[in-house]
C-alpha cells in the first residue's frame, strides 16, 4: 500500500454550525461576525453562507459592508465555544478511522493513510463526517501536503478542466493532484493560485517576469535566492514544482506565540490614549501566557491606521521574562518607532515564547 495525504476542508464551517442548530436558516443568506448587529462599527465577517456569498459577502469584510450588499441576510454573533465543540466532533470522527489526523484549525486538517484506494477512503471520511455531525466537507488527495491542499480547492469547484480520478464526474467533493498530473493541472495557472503566495508576493514574482506556475518552476534558483533570500527563494522554487512535506503527525503543535489585538469603536487620536490602550493589551496577553507557564523572549506591536496601513515592529528582549510590566514597557518603547501621524483604528501586541529544549539536546 502507498502513503497518501488527504486534506479535509469543511464547507462554510462556521455558518454550517450555526445552521445546524437553527435548521430554519437553511437556504437563507447567513452572515456570522462580531456581535451580530450590522449597525455596530468595526466588526468583521467571520464567515458567510454560500447564499450570502452570492451577494458578494465574504469573510474579512466589515459587517456593515456585508449589510449593504445583503440587507436581508440573517446576521449572527460569533460563538467560538460552539465551533470548538463542532470541530472536535469532526476530528474525532476522522480519528475513528485507521489514519493519522493533523489538525490545522477548526475547519481543516491533514489525514495521512496507507491505502491503495485513496478516493474510496476520502468518500468514507466524507460520509462519516456527514452522518455523524451533519456537516459536509471536501477532500483533496495528494502525494504531499502542498498538492493535497491545492486539490481541495478543485474538489470544491462544480466543474474542473480535469477529472479528479478515472470514472468520476464533476462536483464529487474529492480531487486528486499528484506529480502525475501536476503540470497538466497547474502549469498554466497564475502563481497566485499556489498555496502560500498572496497578492504582494505575486507582484514580486511578476517583477521577475514570473507569472505562471510553470515559469516559477523553471525560474533561476540563484535569482530567486537573491531576491527572497536562500530559504524562501528555495521554497518558492519547490512550490512551483508542487513539492512539499509528506509527514503527518497527531502530536499537537507547540504554540510559539500569542497575540491580542483590538479594533476600537472610535479611532484613537490622542497619544496618551494610544499608550494607555497598548499598555492594557500588553498586560492582558502577558498575564494570560504567564498563567500557562510560558516565558517571553520577543515582543511585537501592530498598529492599523485609519487608512488601513498596518505596520508591525518588534524587539527581542535582553533576557526572557514573565514580568507583565517589562512586556508593557517594551511595547511602549516599540511604539516610539511608529510615526503616529494619523488616528489609529487597531492596536495589537504579539509575544513570542521561549521554546522548550528537546530532551535529546538537554542530555
Residues that are catalytic: 108
R_g (Cα) of the chain, nearest Å: 23
* Residue recorded with cell 498538492: 147
In the three-class reduction of DSSP (H, G, I as helix; E, B as strand; rest coil), residue 2 is classed as strand
Contact 343, 316 (CB under 8 A): no
Question: At 153, phi and psi to the nearest 5?
Answer: -60, -40
Contact 213, 193 (CB under 8 A): yes
Contact 9, 108 (CB under 8 A): yes
- Report the alpha-carbon angle 252-255-257, nearest 5: 170
- DSSP structural state of residue 170: S
Taking each helix axis from N to C terminus, what angle separates 13-21 and 80-95, rounded to the nearest 10 degrees? 100
Minimal CA–CA distance to 235: which of 269, 194, 203, 295?
A: 194
Q: Which three cell numbers stand for residue 273?
A: 490614549
In the three-class reduction of DSSP (H, G, I as helix; E, B as strand; rest coil), residue 269 is classed as coil
Please tell me the distance from the alpha carbon of residue 348 to that of residue 262, in angstroms, as a whole number.
Answer: 6
Minimal CA–CA distance to 323: which of 274, 269, 281, 286?
A: 286
Please tell me the distance from the alpha carbon of residue 42 to that of residue 322, in angstroms, as a whole number.
Answer: 32
Beta-strand relationship, 257-268 and 344-353? antiparallel
Please tell me the distance from the alpha carbon of residue 192 to that of residue 179, in angstroms, as a whole number.
Answer: 20
- DSSP structural state of residue 28: S
Backbone CA torsion sign across 239, 242, 244, 248: positive
Amino acid at each position: 500500500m502507498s502513503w497518501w495525504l488527504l486534506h479535509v476542508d469543511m464547507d462554510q464551517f462556521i455558518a454550517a454550525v450555526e445552521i445546524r442548530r437553527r435548521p430554519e436558516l437553511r437556504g437563507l443568506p447567513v452572515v456570522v461576525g462580531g456581535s451580530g448587529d450590522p449597525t455596530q462599527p468595526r466588526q468583521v465577517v467571520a464567515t458567510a453562507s454560500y447564499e450570502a456569498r452570492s451577494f458578494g459577502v465574504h469573510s474579512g469584510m466589515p459587517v456593515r459592508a456585508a449589510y449593504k450588499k445583503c440587507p436581508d441576510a440573517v446576521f449572527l454573533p460569533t460563538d467560538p465555544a460552539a465551533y470548538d465543540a463542532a470541530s472536535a466532533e469532526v476530528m474525532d470522527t476522522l480519528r475513528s478511522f485507521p489514519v493519522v489526523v493533523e489538525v490545522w484549525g477548526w475547519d481543516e486538517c491533514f489525514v495521512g493513510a496507507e491505502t491503495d484506494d485513496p478516493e474510496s477512503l476520502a468518500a468514507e471520511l466524507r460520509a462519516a463526517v456527514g452522518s455523524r455531525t451533519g456537516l459536509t466537507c471536501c477532500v483533496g488527495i495528494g502525494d504531499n501536503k502542498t498538492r493535497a491542499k491545492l486539490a481541495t480547492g478543485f474538489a470544491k469547484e462544480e466543474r474542473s478542466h480535469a477529472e479528479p480520478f478515472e470514472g468520476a464526474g464533476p462536483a464529487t467533493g474529492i480531487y486528486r493532484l499528484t506529480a502525475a498530473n501536476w503540470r497538466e493541472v497547474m502549469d498554466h495557472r497564475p502563481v497566485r493560485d499556489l498555496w502560500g503566495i498572496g497578492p504582494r508576493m505575486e507582484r514580486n514574482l511578476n517583477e521577475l517576469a514570473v507569472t505562471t506556475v510553470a515559469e516559477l518552476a523553471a525560474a533561476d534558483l540563484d535569482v530567486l535566492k537573491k531576491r527572497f533570500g536562500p530559504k524562501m527563494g528555495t521554497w518558492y522554487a519547490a512550490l512551483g514544482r508542487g513539492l512539499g512535506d509528506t509527514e503527518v503527525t497527531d502530536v499537537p503543535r507547540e504554540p510559539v506565540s500569542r497575540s491580542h489585538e483590538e479594533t476600537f469603536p472610535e479611532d484613537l487620536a490622542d497619544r496618551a490614549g494610544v499608550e494607555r490602550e497598548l499598555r492594557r493589551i500588553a498586560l492582558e496577553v502577558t498575564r494570560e501566557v504567564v498563567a500557562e507557564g510560558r516565558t517571553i523572549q520577543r515582543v511585537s506591536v501592530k498598529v492599523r491606521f485609519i487608512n488601513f496601513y498596518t505596520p508591525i515592529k518588534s524587539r527581542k528582549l535582553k533576557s526572557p521574562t514573565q514580568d507583565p510590566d517589562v512586556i508593557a514597557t517594551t511595547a511602549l518603547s516599540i511604539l516610539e518607532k511608529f510615526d503616529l501621524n494619523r488616528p489609529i483604528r487597531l492596536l495589537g501586541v504579539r509575544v513570542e515564547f521561549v521554546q522548550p529544549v528537546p530532551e535529546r539536546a538537554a542530555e
